[in-house]
Homo-oligomer: A and B are copies of this chain.
Amino acid sequence: MAKSSPRKKRTQPEIPWSPRPEGSKDLVWRYPNNPILGRRAIPCAQAIYNSAVIPFEGRYVGVFRADHLNGMPNLHLGWSEDALSWKISNDPIKFTGGDAAYRSGYGYDPRVCRIGADYFITWCADYHGPTIGVAKTRDFRKFERLENAFLPNNRNGVLFPRRIGGKYAMLSRPSDGGHTPFGDIFYSESPDLCHWGVHRHVMSSGSLWWEGVKIGSGAVPIETDKGWLLLYHGVRSSCNGFVYSMGAALLDLEKPWIVRGRITGPILMPELDYETTGSVPNVVFPCATLHDEKDGRIAIYYGAADTHVALAFAWRDELVAEILKYPVGK
Protein backbone atom coordinates (compact mmCIF):
# COMPACT_ATOMS: atom_id res chain seq x y z
CA MET A 1 0.00 0.00 0.00
CA ALA A 2 3.04 2.28 0.35
CA LYS A 3 3.50 4.80 -2.36
CA SER A 4 6.13 3.92 -4.89
CA SER A 5 8.49 6.89 -5.18
CA PRO A 6 12.12 7.76 -5.70
CA ARG A 7 12.32 8.59 -2.01
CA LYS A 8 12.65 4.88 -1.32
CA LYS A 9 16.15 5.01 -2.68
CA ARG A 10 17.49 7.18 0.13
CA THR A 11 19.50 5.14 2.55
CA GLN A 12 17.60 5.58 5.73
CA PRO A 13 18.96 4.02 8.90
CA GLU A 14 16.85 1.31 10.47
CA ILE A 15 13.94 2.75 12.46
CA PRO A 16 13.37 1.73 16.09
CA TRP A 17 10.95 -1.15 16.38
CA SER A 18 9.40 -3.50 18.84
CA PRO A 19 6.78 -6.04 17.81
CA ARG A 20 3.19 -5.91 18.98
CA PRO A 21 2.89 -7.64 22.37
CA GLU A 22 1.50 -11.13 22.42
CA GLY A 23 -2.27 -11.18 22.56
CA SER A 24 -2.69 -7.48 21.96
CA LYS A 25 -5.06 -6.29 19.26
CA ASP A 26 -4.16 -2.64 19.71
CA LEU A 27 -3.36 -0.73 16.54
CA VAL A 28 -0.65 1.17 18.41
CA TRP A 29 1.60 -0.25 21.14
CA ARG A 30 4.31 1.22 23.33
CA TYR A 31 8.07 0.79 23.35
CA PRO A 32 8.81 -1.35 26.43
CA ASN A 33 11.74 0.85 27.50
CA ASN A 34 9.73 4.06 27.55
CA PRO A 35 10.35 6.83 28.25
CA ILE A 36 13.46 7.39 26.17
CA LEU A 37 14.05 10.94 27.43
CA GLY A 38 12.73 12.99 30.35
CA ARG A 39 13.90 14.84 33.44
CA ARG A 40 17.36 16.38 33.41
CA ALA A 41 18.52 14.76 30.19
CA ILE A 42 20.80 17.74 29.61
CA PRO A 43 22.18 20.08 32.26
CA CYS A 44 20.16 23.15 31.28
CA ALA A 45 16.77 21.46 31.13
CA GLN A 46 14.25 20.22 33.64
CA ALA A 47 12.44 18.06 31.12
CA ILE A 48 12.38 17.11 27.42
CA TYR A 49 9.17 16.20 25.60
CA ASN A 50 6.93 17.02 22.57
CA SER A 51 9.81 16.66 20.12
CA ALA A 52 10.40 15.76 16.48
CA VAL A 53 12.94 13.49 14.77
CA ILE A 54 13.87 12.88 11.13
CA PRO A 55 16.49 10.83 9.23
CA PHE A 56 19.39 12.88 7.88
CA GLU A 57 22.54 11.70 6.14
CA GLY A 58 22.49 8.18 7.45
CA ARG A 59 21.64 8.94 11.02
CA TYR A 60 18.90 10.75 12.93
CA VAL A 61 18.51 14.36 13.90
CA GLY A 62 15.93 15.66 16.36
CA VAL A 63 14.52 19.01 17.34
CA PHE A 64 13.61 18.81 20.99
CA ARG A 65 11.42 20.84 23.30
CA ALA A 66 13.61 21.35 26.35
CA ASP A 67 12.01 23.12 29.32
CA HIS A 68 14.93 24.98 30.82
CA LEU A 69 15.67 25.24 34.50
CA ASN A 70 14.03 28.67 34.38
CA GLY A 71 10.84 26.98 33.29
CA MET A 72 10.82 28.33 29.73
CA PRO A 73 10.70 26.02 26.69
CA ASN A 74 13.41 26.15 24.02
CA LEU A 75 14.29 24.22 20.88
CA HIS A 76 17.46 22.10 21.03
CA LEU A 77 19.16 19.98 18.41
CA GLY A 78 20.12 16.33 18.99
CA TRP A 79 21.76 13.51 17.07
CA SER A 80 21.38 9.76 17.25
CA GLU A 81 22.47 6.63 15.44
CA ASP A 82 19.46 4.54 16.45
CA ALA A 83 16.83 7.20 17.18
CA LEU A 84 16.65 5.87 20.74
CA SER A 85 19.80 7.09 22.40
CA TRP A 86 20.24 10.81 21.86
CA LYS A 87 23.06 13.30 22.21
CA ILE A 88 21.36 16.64 22.70
CA SER A 89 23.04 20.02 22.63
CA ASN A 90 22.93 22.00 25.83
CA ASP A 91 22.46 25.21 23.78
CA PRO A 92 19.24 26.19 22.06
CA ILE A 93 19.13 26.35 18.29
CA LYS A 94 20.20 29.75 16.97
CA PHE A 95 18.26 31.13 14.05
CA THR A 96 19.58 33.68 11.57
CA GLY A 97 17.25 36.52 10.70
CA GLY A 98 17.21 39.64 12.75
CA ASP A 99 13.68 40.89 12.32
CA ALA A 100 12.02 41.89 15.56
CA ALA A 101 9.04 39.76 14.66
CA TYR A 102 11.29 36.72 15.00
CA ARG A 103 12.46 37.43 18.50
CA SER A 104 10.56 35.11 20.74
CA GLY A 105 10.71 34.58 24.46
CA TYR A 106 10.21 30.88 23.93
CA GLY A 107 9.79 28.11 21.39
CA TYR A 108 7.93 24.85 21.86
CA ASP A 109 6.31 21.78 20.30
CA PRO A 110 8.52 21.62 17.16
CA ARG A 111 7.81 19.58 14.07
CA VAL A 112 10.39 18.88 11.32
CA CYS A 113 9.51 18.38 7.67
CA ARG A 114 11.64 17.57 4.61
CA ILE A 115 10.52 19.07 1.33
CA GLY A 116 12.96 18.16 -1.40
CA ALA A 117 16.42 19.22 -0.28
CA ASP A 118 15.12 21.58 2.40
CA TYR A 119 14.24 20.81 5.97
CA PHE A 120 11.73 23.00 7.75
CA ILE A 121 11.05 23.40 11.43
CA THR A 122 7.63 24.68 12.45
CA TRP A 123 6.90 25.41 16.08
CA CYS A 124 4.97 27.55 18.48
CA ALA A 125 6.72 30.92 18.59
CA ASP A 126 5.71 34.05 20.44
CA TYR A 127 4.72 37.18 18.54
CA HIS A 128 2.14 39.04 20.58
CA GLY A 129 0.68 35.65 21.38
CA PRO A 130 1.51 32.12 20.22
CA THR A 131 1.86 31.68 16.48
CA ILE A 132 3.62 29.42 13.99
CA GLY A 133 7.34 30.02 13.65
CA VAL A 134 9.01 28.67 10.48
CA ALA A 135 12.70 28.05 9.82
CA LYS A 136 14.66 26.42 7.03
CA THR A 137 17.88 24.42 7.04
CA ARG A 138 19.77 22.24 4.64
CA ASP A 139 22.47 21.01 6.97
CA PHE A 140 21.05 21.28 10.48
CA ARG A 141 23.84 23.74 11.23
CA LYS A 142 22.47 26.99 9.87
CA PHE A 143 18.80 27.72 10.47
CA GLU A 144 17.22 30.55 8.55
CA ARG A 145 14.16 32.05 10.17
CA LEU A 146 11.29 32.70 7.70
CA GLU A 147 8.18 34.80 8.30
CA ASN A 148 5.72 33.55 10.86
CA ALA A 149 3.00 31.76 8.97
CA PHE A 150 -0.11 33.26 10.57
CA LEU A 151 -1.48 35.94 12.78
CA PRO A 152 -1.65 35.00 16.44
CA ASN A 153 -3.15 33.06 18.12
CA ASN A 154 -2.20 29.77 16.48
CA ARG A 155 -0.52 26.50 17.47
CA ASN A 156 0.32 23.07 16.06
CA GLY A 157 1.50 24.14 12.62
CA VAL A 158 2.48 21.08 10.56
CA LEU A 159 3.80 21.19 6.98
CA PHE A 160 3.08 18.60 4.29
CA PRO A 161 6.22 16.89 2.93
CA ARG A 162 5.63 18.02 -0.67
CA ARG A 163 3.93 20.81 -2.55
CA ILE A 164 0.27 20.19 -3.28
CA GLY A 165 -1.16 21.79 -6.39
CA GLY A 166 2.14 23.60 -6.70
CA LYS A 167 1.80 25.26 -3.30
CA TYR A 168 3.34 24.68 0.08
CA ALA A 169 0.67 23.38 2.44
CA MET A 170 0.28 23.60 6.19
CA LEU A 171 -2.18 22.40 8.80
CA SER A 172 -2.68 24.58 11.88
CA ARG A 173 -5.02 25.11 14.79
CA PRO A 174 -6.28 28.65 15.49
CA SER A 175 -6.26 29.14 19.27
CA ASP A 176 -6.62 31.70 21.99
CA GLY A 177 -3.76 33.03 24.08
CA GLY A 178 -4.34 30.72 27.05
CA HIS A 179 -5.18 27.05 27.46
CA THR A 180 -7.71 27.32 24.61
CA PRO A 181 -10.94 25.42 25.28
CA PHE A 182 -11.72 25.02 21.55
CA GLY A 183 -9.90 24.21 18.33
CA ASP A 184 -10.29 22.76 14.85
CA ILE A 185 -7.66 21.89 12.24
CA PHE A 186 -7.39 24.13 9.15
CA TYR A 187 -5.46 23.86 5.88
CA SER A 188 -3.66 26.83 4.26
CA GLU A 189 -1.44 27.14 1.22
CA SER A 190 1.42 29.38 0.14
CA PRO A 191 3.37 30.02 -3.06
CA ASP A 192 6.49 31.19 -1.19
CA LEU A 193 6.37 30.03 2.44
CA CYS A 194 5.84 33.69 3.31
CA HIS A 195 2.29 34.59 2.27
CA TRP A 196 -0.50 32.18 3.21
CA GLY A 197 -4.08 31.99 2.00
CA VAL A 198 -6.90 29.81 0.63
CA HIS A 199 -7.69 28.73 4.16
CA ARG A 200 -9.89 25.62 4.38
CA HIS A 201 -11.48 23.92 7.35
CA VAL A 202 -10.37 20.30 7.71
CA MET A 203 -11.67 18.69 10.90
CA SER A 204 -13.63 19.76 13.95
CA SER A 205 -13.16 18.57 17.49
CA GLY A 206 -14.99 15.31 17.76
CA SER A 207 -18.32 14.08 18.97
CA LEU A 208 -16.79 11.49 21.28
CA TRP A 209 -15.51 12.71 24.61
CA TRP A 210 -11.81 11.98 24.09
CA GLU A 211 -11.53 14.72 21.44
CA GLY A 212 -14.53 16.81 22.42
CA VAL A 213 -12.65 19.94 23.50
CA LYS A 214 -10.14 20.47 20.70
CA ILE A 215 -7.82 18.71 18.28
CA GLY A 216 -4.43 19.55 16.79
CA SER A 217 -2.19 18.07 14.13
CA GLY A 218 0.58 15.88 15.42
CA ALA A 219 3.17 14.46 13.06
CA VAL A 220 4.00 15.44 9.49
CA PRO A 221 1.42 13.55 7.38
CA ILE A 222 2.58 10.31 5.77
CA GLU A 223 1.74 9.96 2.09
CA THR A 224 -0.01 6.72 1.14
CA ASP A 225 -1.84 5.85 -2.01
CA LYS A 226 -5.11 6.13 -0.08
CA GLY A 227 -4.38 9.61 1.20
CA TRP A 228 -2.35 11.49 3.79
CA LEU A 229 -2.15 9.60 7.05
CA LEU A 230 -2.50 12.14 9.85
CA LEU A 231 -1.75 11.34 13.48
CA TYR A 232 -3.20 14.06 15.70
CA HIS A 233 -4.08 14.78 19.31
CA GLY A 234 -7.57 15.10 20.74
CA VAL A 235 -8.40 16.63 24.09
CA ARG A 236 -11.14 15.99 26.59
CA SER A 237 -11.94 17.91 29.75
CA SER A 238 -12.10 15.90 32.94
CA CYS A 239 -13.03 17.46 36.25
CA ASN A 240 -9.29 17.69 36.83
CA GLY A 241 -8.24 19.39 33.59
CA PHE A 242 -7.43 18.35 30.05
CA VAL A 243 -6.56 14.82 28.90
CA TYR A 244 -4.63 14.48 25.62
CA SER A 245 -4.90 11.32 23.49
CA MET A 246 -3.82 10.32 19.97
CA GLY A 247 -6.14 9.92 16.96
CA ALA A 248 -5.77 9.06 13.29
CA ALA A 249 -7.35 10.30 10.07
CA LEU A 250 -6.78 10.12 6.34
CA LEU A 251 -6.84 13.28 4.19
CA ASP A 252 -7.38 13.42 0.45
CA LEU A 253 -4.08 13.38 -1.43
CA GLU A 254 -4.67 16.42 -3.61
CA LYS A 255 -7.37 18.22 -1.59
CA PRO A 256 -6.19 17.53 1.94
CA TRP A 257 -9.02 19.61 3.46
CA ILE A 258 -11.26 16.68 2.54
CA VAL A 259 -11.22 14.00 5.22
CA ARG A 260 -11.42 10.53 3.72
CA GLY A 261 -11.67 8.70 7.01
CA ARG A 262 -11.22 9.20 10.75
CA ILE A 263 -11.20 6.59 13.47
CA THR A 264 -13.86 7.59 15.98
CA GLY A 265 -11.87 6.46 19.00
CA PRO A 266 -8.35 7.30 20.12
CA ILE A 267 -5.48 5.06 19.11
CA LEU A 268 -3.47 5.78 22.26
CA MET A 269 -4.67 7.18 25.59
CA PRO A 270 -2.64 7.99 28.73
CA GLU A 271 -2.44 4.80 30.79
CA LEU A 272 1.06 4.18 32.07
CA ASP A 273 2.77 6.06 34.87
CA TYR A 274 4.97 8.20 32.65
CA GLU A 275 1.83 9.34 30.81
CA THR A 276 -0.48 9.90 33.80
CA THR A 277 2.09 11.53 36.10
CA GLY A 278 4.51 14.39 35.54
CA SER A 279 4.44 18.15 35.11
CA VAL A 280 1.06 17.90 33.38
CA PRO A 281 -0.73 14.64 34.14
CA ASN A 282 -2.49 12.62 31.41
CA VAL A 283 -0.88 13.86 28.21
CA VAL A 284 -0.08 11.82 25.07
CA PHE A 285 1.05 14.28 22.38
CA PRO A 286 2.37 12.95 19.04
CA CYS A 287 4.90 15.16 17.21
CA ALA A 288 6.76 12.97 14.71
CA THR A 289 6.99 9.59 13.03
CA LEU A 290 9.70 7.52 11.45
CA HIS A 291 8.39 5.44 8.61
CA ASP A 292 9.84 2.44 6.87
CA GLU A 293 8.31 2.92 3.46
CA LYS A 294 9.15 -0.59 2.32
CA ASP A 295 7.27 -2.57 4.94
CA GLY A 296 5.08 0.13 6.43
CA ARG A 297 6.36 0.06 9.98
CA ILE A 298 5.89 3.38 11.81
CA ALA A 299 7.63 4.60 14.95
CA ILE A 300 5.65 7.38 16.64
CA TYR A 301 7.37 9.91 18.90
CA TYR A 302 5.04 11.43 21.47
CA GLY A 303 5.35 13.66 24.48
CA ALA A 304 4.17 12.10 27.75
CA ALA A 305 2.85 14.14 30.68
CA ASP A 306 4.77 17.23 29.49
CA THR A 307 7.82 15.51 30.96
CA HIS A 308 9.03 12.66 28.77
CA VAL A 309 9.63 11.61 25.17
CA ALA A 310 8.05 8.22 24.55
CA LEU A 311 7.79 5.94 21.57
CA ALA A 312 5.01 3.79 20.13
CA PHE A 313 4.70 1.62 17.05
CA ALA A 314 2.16 0.80 14.39
CA TRP A 315 1.79 -0.70 10.93
CA ARG A 316 0.96 1.91 8.31
CA ASP A 317 -1.30 -0.33 6.29
CA GLU A 318 -3.22 -1.47 9.35
CA LEU A 319 -3.86 2.13 10.34
CA VAL A 320 -4.99 3.09 6.87
CA ALA A 321 -7.27 0.07 6.61
CA GLU A 322 -8.80 0.83 9.99
CA ILE A 323 -9.34 4.50 9.16
CA LEU A 324 -11.12 3.56 5.96
CA LYS A 325 -13.69 1.71 8.07
CA TYR A 326 -14.76 5.16 9.29
CA PRO A 327 -15.36 7.13 6.10
CA VAL A 328 -16.29 10.78 6.53
CA GLY A 329 -18.96 12.20 4.26
CA LYS A 330 -17.98 15.81 3.79
Seen from chain A, the residues whose Cβ lies within 8 Å of a Cβ on chain B are 25-26, 39-40, 43, 46-47, 68-72, 101, 105-106, 127-129, 131, 147-154, 172, 174, 176-179, 182, 184, 186, 188-192, 194-201, 204, 207-211, 236-243, 245, 264-266, 269-271, 273, 276-282, 306
In angstroms, how far is the closest chain B Cβ from the Cβ of A268? 10
A236 to B190, CA, bound (A): 36
* Chain B min CB distance to A244 (Å): 8
Contact yes or no, A174 B186, CB < 8 A: no
Cα distance A106–B151 in the bound complex, in angstroms: 23
**Residue A71 contacts which of B172, B210, B282 (CB distance < 8 angstroms)?**
B210
Q: List B contacts of A148 (CB < 8 A).
A: 199
Chain B residues closer than 8 Å to A211, beta-carbon distance = 71
Given contact pairs A150-B151, A197-B195, A280 touches B239 in the complex (Cβ within 8 A): yes
Contact: A240 with B241, CB < 8 Å? yes
13 contacts between A and B (CB under 8 A): A25-B43, A39-B271, A69-B265, A69-B269, A101-B200, A101-B201, A151-B154, A151-B188, A189-B195, A191-B195, A194-B198, A238-B306, A240-B240
Hey, which chain B residues are within 8 Å of A201, CB to CB? Answer: 101, 127-128
Closest CB in chain B relative to A235 CB, distance in Å: 8
**A13 CA to B72 CA in the complex, in Å?**
40
On whether the beta carbons of A186 and B128 are closer than 8 Å, the reply is yes
Question: How many copies of this chain?
Answer: 6
- Please name 4 further chain A to chain B contacts, defined as beta carbons within 8 Å, in addition to the given A101-B200, A151-B188, sorted by A numbering: A46-B271, A128-B201, A148-B199, A240-B241
Chain B: CB-nearest residue to A278: B276
Contact assessment for A70 and B210 in the assembled complex, using a CB-CB cutoff below 8 Å:
yes
Q: Given contacts A150-B150, A197-B147, A197-B190, is CB(A280)–CB(B240) below 8 Å?
A: yes
Q: Check B101 against A199 for contact (C-beta < 8 Å).
A: yes
Given the complex, which residues of B lie within 8 Å of A190, measured CB to CB?
195, 197
Inter-chain contact A280/B195, CB cutoff 8 Å: no
Given contacts A151-B172, A195-B196, A270-B279, contact A71 B245 (CB under 8 A): yes
Report the separation of the CA atoms of residues A47 and B201 in the bound assembly, to the nearest whole angstrom: 32
Check B147–A199 contact: CB distance below 8 A: yes
Q: Are A70 and B243 in contact, with the CB atoms below 8 A?
A: no
Q: How far is the CA of A84 from the CA of B70 in the complex (A)?
A: 30
Do A71 and B198 touch (CB < 8 A)? no
Nearest residue, chain B, Cβ from A186 = B151
Residues of chain B within 8 A of A280, CB atoms compared = 238-240
- CB contact under 8 A between A277 and B273, given known A182-B177, A191-B195: yes
- Give the one of A39, A68, A150 with max B CB within 10 A: A150
Residues of B within 8 A of A172 (CB): 151
The residue of chain B having its C-beta at the shortest distance from the C-beta of A209 within the complex is: B71
User: How distant is A261 from chain B, measured CB to nearest CB, in Å?
Assistant: 15
Which residues of chain B are within 8 angstroms of A152 by Cβ–Cβ distance?
A: 174, 186
B195 close to A198 (CB less than 8 A)? yes
